[in-house]
Chain A
């Protein structure tokens, strides 16, 4: 187990190095000039030249990369061109927000998706199965921005139960924090619940038809025990991977949902940064996101081992 972990952690280094080069070069392929964007409406040439010099935009790309990566290795991700705040501070400010929304979304997705998938598999061909499938289809095919605006109209304008947008930190006011994040978390969770339901259903169906389940039933075990103790545990393995990947996607910022609900998370940060050609912010956020993604994959692998004893050897 330890050597497995060490090997996987070592693999992180070349992967992240490759990612850093990719982000850096791809971003500079974007048309548009950050100095021009920053110079504002007036676009004064003296101001533009000064910005280029200040942020080393006038230097060759490899040299810009060396400066950046040197900073990153010493924990300095640079400074936002637009708001003059260190990128690391921005990341540390936004990451907890996105983590809160993402984990709430994943919990909602698991709470809806897995039971729906199990019911649908166990009650295959019945009205329960069709209802669960219909629900999954709705979740997958409903656009986030549409559902988001619909929820705002219903719960904020018509009923007045929840704030339409904005974010409150849990440390400030826990109830208000949940109220400000429950709608975006539901919008995100709803889409993932559909995917989880479909995967749980097919995994469960496969397991329920296997020999050992038939044996368990033949032994006279109760249906509850067969489903929860024997079938579900095996069926969960692929669901864990899927959950980890989805969580990774959510942590990289649910761009549209964060825009709609004005949640100051990663998604909003990166969208603003891309449109303003705020290179340092884009680079920093993408690098951190890539690291999170890789780590989540590693955690999923560890979870596999914990769930499935056969992999422990």
Chain B
């Protein structure tokens, strides 16, 4: 009888243990790289932004239509002169250590972004002079000059709030044990292996959180990442290769989610730093000829099975700031040849095309090479490893450089740093005072119609000068198990975990 009782107790314990285990839901997410440090002030990688989405909320976020919507803030107001932005904070928000997110904490987060020695947020918040606390739930950003892209910056890491208590204690090691205000809190990280989070019980919108744990697993090889998804090792994965779409579609257990990226892929032309003084840097006609020799839609079909979107501007054709008056020019080899003849260059025009190593840029370069050859260009493809290509680009050791930009929500962040005189990413040294003035003006105005009119003028100049040949916009390809419900892909490419359920 005693044995029977013990056995029943053990069985009951076993069953209850079993149910407890079953009730715990864990979402496993496959990442394409191992993120860098998880500190909003010093993080810099794209892959890291996926992880932040789970645990570190921002003052603002974006919706599918690229509207800026409140997250940890409730609203904002810009003063008439554009030099003050007042932000109302959401009441009752707690950090993972139980501290309250109030105006003092928000001010501390901004001050940290602006003053921490290693901060990467300083250039993004360069327009902010200082932050004032107005009342316990209101802050005021006082700007050095009007800066309309500011609120868009606050939809990314610059708008992330950190617990002052934890951040003060940890200093620049805060990212090893980050404490933010988000749906999940940090549990542990094993470098290059996993990053684990668990549901935060005091999250301000906890009714929308249905999964208990989230584990991020960096799996570098895309084939292996997909194999993990197929075998159930992960439930959600980023960066599916366009060539693997068929394999995902044919699997009844899997589903694809897509969104058009905010960034672009293009060829930067070295105009002012070209030490060899090649024909591309000497005449815009030669650059226009190169542009006209490329069939963007054919490129998309050949390399990406038509999955991506042909492009010709710094924003994609669905972006509110896309200039419809400047559609993609059709390929015109005859006109390209005529332009080359007009400019009097010796044929074939030899071009040194630098690109970082990788199947995508290499395939694109080869297609461009063969298209341009028909118009009279001899493109010499020079593939280098990523870090080296960056260094060479900055030193001006190239004539053309095929390089992607991951993109931001505001058009300023896709144009200014690449096209304005002396900007850090203006590797080709492009300089046009008229274009500079337009980009500066666009920063001062918040009205969308007025800004768009300014960017239209800029587009006209860039179309003529051709400092950058925009080629296409990627489709963000995310695959997940059908057991995961409620997944929606946002144009910034990030995988958001709020509202998801796992069956």
Contacts and interface: CB of A to CB of B under 8 A. Distances in A.
Same assembly: yes
Interface of A: 30-34, 36-47, 50-51, 54, 82-85, 90, 93-94, 149, 152-153, 156-157, 160, 163-167, 259-262, 264, 268-269, 272, 275-277
Nearest to A82: B36
Interface string B42-79: 10111000000000000000000000000000000000
Contacts of B34: 272
A268 B34 CA distance: 10
Contact of A156 (B193, B231, B384, B387): B231
A67 B234 CA distance: 43
Q: Which 3 A-B pairs have the closest CB atoms?
A: A32-B387, A40-B44, A264-B193
Contacts of B405: 41
A260 B233 contact: no
Nearest to A152: B227
Contacts of B172: 84
Contacts of B392: 31
Contacts of A272: 34, 192
A84 B178 CA distance: 13
A47 B117 CA distance: 9
Nearest to A258: B192
23 contacts: A32-B388, A32-B390, A33-B390, A36-B390, A37-B387, A40-B120, A43-B394, A44-B122, A46-B123, A47-B122, A51-B118, A84-B37, A84-B173, A94-B191, A149-B227, A156-B231, A164-B227, A165-B227, A166-B228, A262-B220, A264-B191, A275-B385, A277-B387
Nearest to B44: A40
B176 interface: yes
Contacts of A261: 224
B231 A50 contact: no
B173 A259 contact: no
Contact of B44 (A38, A153, A164, A259): A38
Contacts of B46: 41
A51 B120 CA distance: 10
Contacts of B425: 41-43
Contacts of A269: 191-192
B175 interface: yes
Contacts of A41: 44, 46, 405-406, 425
B385 A164 contact: no
B224 A149 contact: yes
A275 B124 CA distance: 26
Contacts of B243: none
A155 to B, nearest CB: 9
A157 B231 contact: yes
Given A40-B44, A277-B387, A167 B193 contact: yes
A43 B385 CA distance: 17
A237 B34 CA distance: 43
B120 A42 contact: yes
Given A31-B391, A42-B120, A157-B230, 15 more contacts: A31-B385, A36-B390, A54-B117, A83-B36, A84-B172, A84-B173, A93-B191, A152-B227, A160-B231, A165-B217, A166-B194, A264-B192, A268-B220, A269-B192, A272-B34
Contact of A165 (B45, B120, B191, B224): B224
Interface centre among A34, A82, A90 (most CB of B within 10 A): A82
A57 to B, nearest CB: 13
Contacts of A42: 44, 120, 123-124, 417, 424-425
A84 B122 contact: no
B315 interface: no
A175 B275 CA distance: 61
B388 A164 contact: no
B231 A164 contact: yes
Nearest to B230: A157
